[in-house]
Amino acid sequence: MSKKISILIQLISGYSLIIITIVAVTIFWSYRTSSQAVLQRSNQYILESVKQLQGKMDAILQDHDKLSAMIMFSPLIQEALKDLAEHRIPKTDNKEISHYIDQQTRSISYDIQFKLFGLSDAEAYTNSSSLEVIWDSEKEIRDAYWYPSIQENGGRMVWFGADVWLNGNIPVVMGARQINDWNRLNRLGTLFLVLPVEVIDNAVSQFHLGKNEKIQIADSFNTIVYSTNPKEIGMYMDSSIMDKFGSHKAHVIPLKVNSADMFVSYAYSSYSQWSVFAYIDAKEAVKDLNGIRRNVLLLGLLGMAVALLFTFFFSWTLSKPIRNLATKLSNVERGTTLPFVKTTMNKEMDILYSSYNSMLQNLDHTIADLSSKQISEKQAQIVALKAQFRPHFLYNTLNTIYWSLANKQLREESQMVLALSDLLRYSIDGGSEFVTVEDDLKQMERFIYLQKLRYEDKLQVEITVTPEVMNCQIMKLTLQPLVENAITHGLEPVIREVWLIRIRIRKEGMSLILTVEDNGKGMSEEKMKKALAGIEVTPEKLLHTGMGLSNLNFRIGLIYGQDYGLSLSNSELGGLRAEVTVPLQYDQG
C-alpha cells in the first residue's frame, strides 16, 4: 500500500499554495499599478518641462521678432531701403542708421547683431556688435540652403542655426526675414538677427530634468541649434529619431541611444518650427520605483509570513480532532473500544464524536445479534439439508404413479402426472437462473395444460411469439407467475362463459417485452400499486410456495436493475394487463 499524506500536510500545502498565489498576484498587481502611475507621472513631468522650455524659447524668439519688426518698419529704415531699391543715394547715412539700431537694442544685456541688406548690394546696415555675419551682401546668401525659406515666408521670420565670425567661426542662433515696403508690400531687402547661443543656454539652465539629462534643439532644417553637449551644435539630428516624432505631437517614448535606455521627450513649436528633445536616463526616471518595489516586496513577505503562521495554526486545530478520531477507529479494529470524553468546538467534529460514541454503545448489541443470527443460520442450514430430500422423494413417487397408470393404459391420467412431475422439476431444480424464452414457454404450457384439465374449454389461451426471440435469455419462471395470477385473481372470481388469456412476446429496440392479459375482473389503480409494492422479502418468506407479482417484480429488479421490471394496467379485454420488460439477451450457446 502506498504511503498516504496526512490531512495536516494537505491543509498546510493547499492553504499555503493559495496564500502564496494570492500574495504573489497582489504584489505583482500592486507593483505594476504603482510603477505605471509613477512612470506616467514621471513622463508627464518630463513632457511638461519640455513644453515649458519650448514655450520659453518661443517667448525669447518672439520678443526679438517684435524688435526686428519695429526696426525694419521704422520710417528711417524704410526710406533708406526705398532709396537703395530705386538706385538713389539714401538721405540717411550708415552711422545714423547704426545709431538708431543701437538705441533700439540698448536694453538687451547680451551681444546681438542686426544686419539689413538692401536690394542693392552696395550698402548694408548693422548695429555695433562683436558678432559679425560672415556675409557682406544679399548676393552672397542667395545660394544658402535656408535662403528659399526666407522668400517663401514673405515677411515672417525664419529661425535657424548658423556660424558667425568672432575670432573664428562660432555657432549662433540666426533669424532672417524679408523686408517689405509697409505701403506697397513690395520687397526692399533682407534682415538678419544674430543671437548668441548663450541666450538659449540661459533658458535651458532653468530646467533641471534629472541626472544625466541631455537637451537638443533642432531647427526646421534638422540642424542642432543647441545641445547640452556643445560638440553636437551645428550637426544634423539623427534621422531615425526625427522619424519617430514625425507627427510633431508632443509625447514621450522609450528609446535606446548609444546602447543606453533613455526616455526621449519631444515638443514642437509651430512658430519657430523648432523641435525640442529631452533625453532622460531610464534608470534615473524610474528611480522611485526601486523604493516602491522594495516596500511592496517587504510588505508582501511580511503578510505572507503572518498568513502562513495562521494557516499552520488553523490547519493544526482543524486536523487534530480528525487525527484523534482516526486513532480511535484504528483502536476499534484492534479490539479497544474507548469512547471520547472530550468535546470539540467544531460542530461537525462534535457530531462525529457523538456518532462514534453511539457506535460503541451499539457495538455490543450488534455483536450479540450477530451471535444469535449465526446460531439461527446453522439451524437454517440443517433445515435446508433436510428439505433437499423432499423433492427427490416427490419425483420418485410421481414416477411410480406415472408407470402404474401407464401399465393400466390410463393415458390421460399418466400424461397429467408426467406434466406435473416436469412442472415441479423445472420449478425446484437448481442450476442457472436464466433460461431461453422457448424453455420458459414450455414450462408455462405445462401449467396451462394442467389448468385446462380442470377448466376444460372454458379456459382459452392465445399465444403470439415472434420467432426471433425464442432463443433470447430471460429469468427462469417469468411467464408462469403471470398466467397463474391471471387465473387465480383475475378469472376465477368472475362468472363468464369463456376465460381468455392472451400472451404476447416481442422485442422493442434493445428490450424484450412479455405481456399477459385476461378478461377477468381487473384491478383498481390503488390495488395495482399495492400488488407491486408487496412486502419485505426475507429468507423465511422465500421458503413459502407461490410467486406473487411483487416477488416477481423484486426478482427482476434484483437481477436486471431498477430500470426494468413489471408494470400493471387495464387490458382492452376487460381485465388486467401485466407487462414485463427485460434487456434483450441471446443465448450464447
- For position 541, what pLDDT does the model report? 42
387 contacts: CB under 8 Å, gap ≥ 6: none
- For position 5, what pLDDT does the model report? 65
127-162: pLDDT as tens digits:
888 887 777 777 778 888 888 898 888 889 999 988
286-316: pLDDT as tens digits:
666 666 667 767 777 787 777 777 777 766 6
219 vs 432, which has greater pLDDT?
219
Dist. CA 272–CA 270, nearest whole Å: 6
Q: What is the pTM of this model?
A: 0.48
pLDDT at 126 over 70: yes
Q: How many CA atoms lie within 13 A of 247 on its CB side?
A: 5
Taking alpha carbons only, the member of 479, 572, 533 closest to residue 487 is: 479
74 vs 351, which has greater pLDDT?
74
- For position 382, what pLDDT does the model report? 43
Residue-averaged pLDDT of the chain: 78
pLDDT at 327 over 90: no
- For position 289, what pLDDT does the model report? 60
Quick count: other Cβ atoms within 10 Å of Cβ 116?
26
Mean pLDDT computed over 104-124: 82
Which of 443-447, 482-486, 512-516: highest mean pLDDT? 512-516
19-48: pLDDT as tens digits:
778 877 777 776 667 666 666 776 777 788
Superfamily of domain 43-285: PAS domain (3.30.450.20)
419 vs 506, which has greater pLDDT?
506
Residue 176: strand pairing partners:
158, 192
Which of 249-258, 390-399, 531-540: highest mean pLDDT? 249-258
Of 3.30.565.10, 2.60.210.10, 3.40.50.261, 3.40.718.10, the CATH number of 431-583 is 3.30.565.10
pLDDT at 54 over 50: yes
pLDDT at 535 over 70: no
pLDDT band at 240 (very low <50, low <70, confident <90, very high): confident
Locus of grid cell 442450476 = 431
Among 213-227, 232-246, 316-330, 382-396, which is the least confidently predicted range? 382-396
Buried b / exposed e over 567-579, threshold 16 CB at 10 Å, is: ebeebebbbbbbb
pLDDT at 97 over 50: yes
Q: Where are the domains of the chain?
A: 43-285, 337-387, 431-583
pLDDT band at 546 (very low <50, low <70, confident <90, very high): very low
3-state secondary structure 303-347: HHHHHHHHHHHHHHHHHHHHHHHHHHHHHHHHCCCCCCCCCCCCH
Q: What are phi and psi of 465, to 5 degrees?
A: -130, 130
The amino acid present at 191, given as its one-letter code, is L
pLDDT band at 538 (very low <50, low <70, confident <90, very high): very low
Mean pLDDT computed over 402-406: 55
pLDDT > 70 fraction of the chain, expressed in percent and rounded = 70
pLDDT at 514 over 90: yes
Strand, coil or helix: 467:
helix
- For position 577, what pLDDT does the model report? 94
